[in-house]
Amino acid sequence: MAAPTGSVAGTPITAAHVRDLLAQLDAVDLQAPAHGAVSFSFTDDRGALQAVATLRELRQAARRGCDEHPAGDCGCPVITAPEPTDAYGPTAAQHRFLTTRDRTCRHPGCDNRAGWADADHVIPHAAGGATDCANLCCLCRRHHRLKTFAPGWTYAMTPDGILTVTAPSGVTRTSRPPGLHFTGPRVLTRPPDQTAAPGPPPTYDPADDPPPFCSAAQAKRWVRSQFSCSRVHGVPPA
Ligand SMILES: [Zn+2]
Ligand SMILES: [Zn+2]
């Protein structure tokens, strides 16, 4: 069963916000189910995900308050987005954030559920991309392979998760996290850089399947099959 979610506009999320929220929840007697957790999505006024927390984590944050200023209500955030990690694989907190933010594979037109998806580094880890939610998005195995193995495709993402995919033909499609409102032109903070020297090859999870093709012709056929989907408008056949 999907955990119910609630949203609170505004950032940062301070101890005062959390206590206020808990008071409202207590007023309606919200309790976590016996074998599950109630989880809350905190979004800003554009619907961009700020943080995810369970009811239990909210109660802990309200009790603990700010670590730096235990004496008073200082306005420091107590519920935040997951920290980046130096490791290749995302942390459990990052995984939770990403699946909450993305809900499905983020390849434009794909709606495979995020629960089955890989957390992909938009800028590959081997090329210096951080294991940070601002550089991670959910891709299903099929589209993860497309991104990893098919030449000529470029990917860029804004820190709030708007993903831009450019096919070798130059046709560009974007996808944004559900719930994020489009509020006008947006500048990609990290545009695709095709002039950069290629980094070392990406590291693969040994549990991953082998590449789906071993010749250029096979690769071309396979890439074409990725975009046979009618929901991906404007991408001409390869
Ligand atoms: Zn503080
Ligand atoms: Zn997909």
Cα 168 from chain centre: 24
Distance CA 220, CA 216 (A): 6
The closest ligand to the CA of 141 turns out to be: 2
Cα of 113 vs centre of ligand 2, distance in Å, is 8
**Are the CB atoms for 109 and 82 separated by under 8 Å?**
no
Half-sphere exposure of 202 (CA within 13 A, CB side): 19
For residue 138, the ligand closest to its alpha carbon is 2
Summarize pLDDT for 150-197 with one digit per residue, the tens. Answer: 889 999 999 999 999 999 999 999 999 998 886 555 444 444 444 444
Centroid of ligand 1 to alpha carbon of 14 (angstroms): 9
Which tens digits make up the pLDDT trace of 60-107? 999 988 888 877 678 888 999 999 999 999 999 999 999 999 999 999
Q: How far is the CA of 62 from the centre of ligand 1 (A)?
A: 13
> Bridge partners of 156?
164
Ligand 2 geometric centre to CA of 25 (Å): 36
Ligand 1 center to residue 65 CA distance, Å?
8
Q: How far apart are CA 23 and CA 16, in angstroms?
A: 10
Predicted pLDDT of residue 114: 82
Q: How far is the CA of 73 from the centre of ligand 1 (A)?
A: 7
C-alpha of residue 146 to centroid of ligand 2, in Å: 9
The b/e string for 131-145 (b: 16+ C-beta within 10 A; e otherwise) is: bbbbbbbbbbeebbb
Provide the 10 A C-beta neighbour count for residue 192: 17
Position with higher pLDDT, 133 vs 45: 133
User: What's the CA-to-centroid distance between 137 and ligand 2, angstroms?
Assistant: 11
